[in-house]
């Protein structure tokens, strides 16, 4: 199994990148750079490319609505060039709260847009001529443009004509698409023992349509990391972020993360967390999260327990453990995890 980490949305960039460099030395294989409504991910990824030598650098994720498909392809090609072939393009639909509230664009047709963005990126990296006749219309109605538009292909020569694409997906349609067209899958709040009941059918259906040249689907999952006999209390650090997503990322009926927790079998708890969070009772919402959910979606506990959790992730076909070290010695925990996954 490969090891990855995700950089935080906010905070001091210099110290965060310095930590990523140290984790690379400890055995980290991959780093994901988030983009929500903080700094843009490509700027940080370019900085990481200059500061690191071995680990892959992934966007985790770029929303498909915030940039045109051509700009996404250009950005990925540029990052791949400056990192000497270490870029991964992580894409996702994000959600209405960020797309409509922050970017001010409609959140529509996420599955169709995702497919088109991936197809256009791959065509651009192959230096095909692009006409853009799909979902993304010209900003002016036909006949009212400048008349200067014409088919083009990328001026630069991408280092690779196939940069790996990882898709963030939770819903059945998006997961089915991911299994069909992407190199990797980025689920959230992945609970290994219950993943198959939620996504098994969609993964199988998409996998049946998968091009063999893509290779096996890489699945990236895990959570907070701390290894030791007295670290169980650190699981509480997972509650604020989990409550934010399950309770606050969207209104009732439009929260994908809440839907996921309900599908895991925590219907009543998911509803209660959302009610509390949307009412402004964040601490109560955190306390209402099921202990089992927090325990089984993070790698915090004695070494034997962590070893068993790694086996559960393997059984669920996870190929990349994406961890955020929270113990007193993060580097030691990553090194030990490296040994446990060897």
Q: What single string gives the DSSP state of each residue in 166-182?
A: EEE--SHHHHHHHHHH-
In this structure, the answer to whether residues 148 and 266 fall within a common structural domain is no
How many Å apart are CA 44 and CA 26, to the nearest integer?
21
pLDDT for position 140: 46
Prediction pTM value: 0.94
Average pLDDT, the chain: 94
In this structure, the answer to whether residues 237 and 183 fall within a common structural domain is no
In this structure, the answer to whether residues 258 and 147 fall within a common structural domain is no
Q: State the residue for tokens 């190929």.
A: 319
Check whether 84 has a pLDDT greater than 90: yes
- Non-local (6+) Cβ contacts of 255 within 8 A are 95, 246, 247, 249, 274
CA dist list (Å): 149 to 71, 146, 202 = 16, 7, 40
pLDDT in tens, 193-208: 999 999 999 999 999 9
Q: What single string gives the DSSP state of each residue in 82-148?
A: HTTS-EEEEEE---HHHHTTTS-S----HHHHHHHHHHHHHHHHTT--B---SSS--SS-TTSS-S-
Q: How far is CA 68 from the centre of its chain?
A: 19
In this structure, the answer to whether residues 183 and 289 fall within a common structural domain is no
pLDDT in tens, 37-82: 889 999 999 999 999 999 999 999 999 999 999 999 999 999 999 9
pLDDT in tens, 267-290: 999 999 999 999 999 999 999 999
Whole domain around residue 159: which residue ranges?
2-226+317-340
In this structure, the answer to whether residues 31 and 119 fall within a common structural domain is yes
pLDDT in tens, 137-179: 544 444 444 455 678 999 999 999 999 999 999 999 999 999 9
Give the Cβ contact number of residue 279 at 10 Å.
Answer: 11
pLDDT for position 171: 95
pLDDT for position 251: 84
Q: How many domains does the chain have?
A: 2
Strand order in the sheet with 324-325: 299-301, 224-227, 324-325
In this structure, the answer to whether residues 266 and 160 fall within a common structural domain is no
Looking at residues 10-36, what average pLDDT do you find?
93
């Amino acid at each position: 199994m490969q090891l990855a980490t995700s950089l935080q949305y906010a905070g001091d960039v210099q110290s965060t990148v310095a930590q990523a460099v140290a984790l690379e030395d400890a055995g980290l294989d991959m780093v994901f750079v988030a983009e929500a409504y903080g700094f843009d991910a490509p700027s940080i990824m370019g900085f990481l490319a200059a500061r690191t030598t071995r680990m892959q650098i992934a966007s985790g994720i770029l929303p498909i609505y915030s940039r045109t498909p051509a700009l996404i392809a250009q950005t990925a090609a540029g990052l791949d060039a400056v990192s000497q072939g270490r870029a991964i393009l992580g894409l996702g639909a994000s959600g209405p709260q960020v797309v409509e509230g922050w970017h001010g664009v409609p959140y529509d047709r996420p599955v169709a847009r995702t497919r088109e963005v991936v197809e256009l990126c791959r065509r651009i990296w192959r230096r095909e001529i692009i006409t853009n006749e799909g979902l993304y219309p010209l900003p002016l109605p036909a006949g009212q443009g400048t008349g200067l538009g014409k088919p083009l292909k990328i001026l630069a020569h991408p280092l690779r004509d196939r940069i790996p694409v990882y898709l963030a997906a939770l819903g059945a349609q998006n997961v089915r698409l991911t299994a069909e067209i992407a190199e990797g899958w980025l689920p959230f709040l992945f609970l290994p023992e219950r993943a198959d009941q939620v996504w098994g059918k969609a993964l199988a259906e998409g996998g049946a349509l998968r091009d063999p040249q893509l290779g096996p689907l890489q699945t990236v999952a895990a959570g907070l990391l701390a290894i030791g006999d007295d670290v169980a209390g650190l699981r509480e650090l997972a509650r604020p972020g989990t409550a934010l997503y399950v309770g606050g990322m969207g209104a009732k009926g439009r929260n994908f993360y809440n839907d996921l927790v309900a599908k895991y079998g925590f219907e009543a708890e998911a509803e209660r967390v959302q009610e509390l969070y949307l009412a402004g009772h964040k601490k109560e919402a955190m306390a209402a999260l099921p202990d089992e959910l927090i325990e089984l979606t993070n790698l915090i506990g004695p070494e034997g327990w962590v070893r068993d959790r790694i086996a559960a992730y393997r059984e669920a076909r996870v190929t990349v453990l994406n961890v955020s070290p929270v113990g007193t010695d993060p580097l030691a925990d990553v090194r030990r995890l490296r040994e446990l996954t060897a």
